[in-house]
Structure 1
């Protein structure tokens, strides 16, 4: 086995802004595992919110290179890295390599039903209401819009988007930007505007208030949900979880988290960091049959990988084996 670790950067269409800041590039880490003629790949996005950087993720992975090249298995690796971006890229590379060696698609190996095309949400970047309205008009043909919010001015932002795209379903992502007073003020207005889901209204370490606040709109845990160990605190506070492979630490744990969440009667969203089609491919497998799909990363990029996902507007089609799995 040979291991290759690289960092890459992909240009975003315009600027992507959330409550924590703006970006013009998607910066990713890719793991390649080569055994003979076969190469498996996995991609991750280091996220500063979780104390990660390109450098820290590469350093984490470097600690295992010798063990991987000496025969470390995917199953053995799970306990050697924490849930997070580094383990995700390595875990997905193991899965991809196994698929290529055995001549199987990923759904045959897990196994699950052969996947079908999925409709993904399309994200509108945080901005002034008038600019978000323009973005909503430009994307009014899309069936599901996800709005990045920040706190102050959010009612005006959602109102503007609803005016610009009156027929679209709308979900919103506060990215931990609200407090209890704002929640009480804003939620009734969002009900009137037809918002179907609110993602992570409060900071992950300060969301206990959700146990006693009304939930007329579905609440989804993002930063509060990483892997199966997150579930005990989520039940009673949220109605839905957002599964992201960069949080679960790969496809292996994501499969188990999905199963556990379903057993707990939680709704499921499958989301992504801002990344290429390579990162979307394993998430696409997890996203089969869930309540909300948010895998629009490639649609937000000005450039993508070879053999990328094909989209018909917001409809995401099954990827080729050349990409992953």
Structure 2
């Protein structure tokens, strides 16, 4: 097995702001693993929120990939995952890049799409992805929402965390009366504030509220969950399967991301844990190239909700992924691997 990686800089279509800051360019690290005449592709989209940058990914990847080469079997993902854990305790995005590349490679070697390796079928009715509208002036958010709806996206996710939150949702709802609207506070609210806003937002037919309070405030999350008229999704509070028991009675939806779990293999573990605790499941993303978005799309048959618009927010992406139309990924078009293709 031969391995390599490179960092790609991906400008965004428009600056993307959430409650924690603004992003104009995303740095992803793309991994390639070759074996048996095939190449598997994976990518890391590191987030400072979880202690990673492109530099930390670049620093740890040589050691992680050395374990891949030492095992020498692209189908031994759990063995490789266990060995990577001995090299780096954290670094989930770096591990995700390796794990995704292994799944892509395995699918190509077996001439099967990854969703089939996961035991799933694709019927064309998998949940549509939301299209995210970053924090901005209300008028700008309304205009971007209008453009997204006119482009065929039926589900909007609005980033909130200002004193104009309710005003913004009201204005977007007026502009997009038939759209499904979700909101994401990215930890910006205090518990009592969150409850008040949930009651106000309920007037505008909001589907659910994502991460209303700080991730390190489980009691606050529970406080909101018990008093909110709207369903609550846990994102920053839920990184891996081990976090599920602590949030199970404090939210309705567990939101996984491959860059939090460490790849597809541990993502399936989180899905199973969430189901065992009676939670609905969503898969979200960072701002990512199609390499990793395609991998996450293969989880769609296992999900209730999807927020996989990371590559849609880019000005351009050198990699192609699973075809998407009107917010729906067409997994039936994936013949083998994840569906990601190089330039």
TM > 0.5 fold call: yes
Alignment of 1:93-242 (within 5 A): 93-114=101-122, 116=124, 118=126, 119-141=128-150, 142-213=153-224, 214-242=227-255
TM-score normalised per structure 2: 0.89
Distance 1:171 1:248 in 2: 23
Per-residue deviation at 1:115? 5.5
Aligned residues of 2:142 and 2:175 also touching (Cα < 8 A): yes
**Contact 1:16–1:125 (Cα < 8 Å) also in 2:** yes
Q: For 2:71, what is the secondary structure of its paired residue?
A: coil
Change (3 A) 1:212 1:169: same
Say whether the 8 Å CA contact 1:306–1:323 is kept in structure 2: no
> Which of 250, 258, 263 is residue 245 of structure 1 equivalent to?
258
Q: Tell me the distance in 1 between the aligned counterparts of 2:291 and 2:65.
A: 21
Q: 1:25 to 1:115 in 2, by over 3 A?
A: farther
State the alpha-carbon separation in 2 of the partners of residues 182 and 224 from structure 1: 18
Q: Is the 8 A contact 1:28 1:54 kept in 2?
A: yes
In the other structure, the counterpart of 1:8 is 8
Q: Cα deviations across residues 58-104 of structure 1 (Å, max 9, x unaligned)?
A: 21222233332222542222233346101111011111111112222
Give the Cα separation in 2 of the matches to 1:223 and 1:184. Answer: 18
Q: Give the corresponding residue for 2:42.
A: 42
Listed as ranges, the gaps of 5+ residues in structure 2 are none
Pair 1:75 & 2:75 matched: no
Shift of 1:289: 4.6
- 1:321 CA drift (Å): 4.4
Matched, 1:324 2:338: yes
Deviation at 1:240, TM superposition (A): 0.4
| Matched residue, 1:304 | 317
TM-score by length of 1: 0.94
Cα contact 2:11–2:25 (8 A) shared by 1? yes
SS at match of 2:301: coil
The answer to whether the 8 Å contact 1:151/1:178 transfers is no
Between the aligned partners of 1:104 and 1:136, the Cα distance in structure 2 is: 37
SS at match of 1:14: strand
Cα 1:303–1:115 change in 2 (3 A) is farther
Which aligned segments of 4 or more residues in structure 1 are displaced greater than 4 angstroms?
none
Alpha-carbon separation, structure 2, partners of 1:323 and 1:101: 8
Larger deviation, residues 166-175 vs 303-312? 303-312
Per-residue CA distance 1:3-52 (angstroms, 9 max, x = gap) = 10111112211211111111222210111111242111111201000110
**Correspondence for 1:87:** 95
CA contact (8 A) 1:308 1:323 kept: no
Q: Distance in 2 between matches of 1:162 and 1:262?
A: 32
Secondary structure of residue in 1 paired with 2:312: helix
Flag the 1:178–1:212 CA change in 2: closer, same or farther, 3 A. closer
Per-residue CA distance 1:229-283 (angstroms, 9 max, x = gap): 0011101111101111111111001112111211211011111111122111121
8 Å Cα contact 1:117/1:316 also seen in 2: no
The residue number in structure 1 matching 2:18 is 18
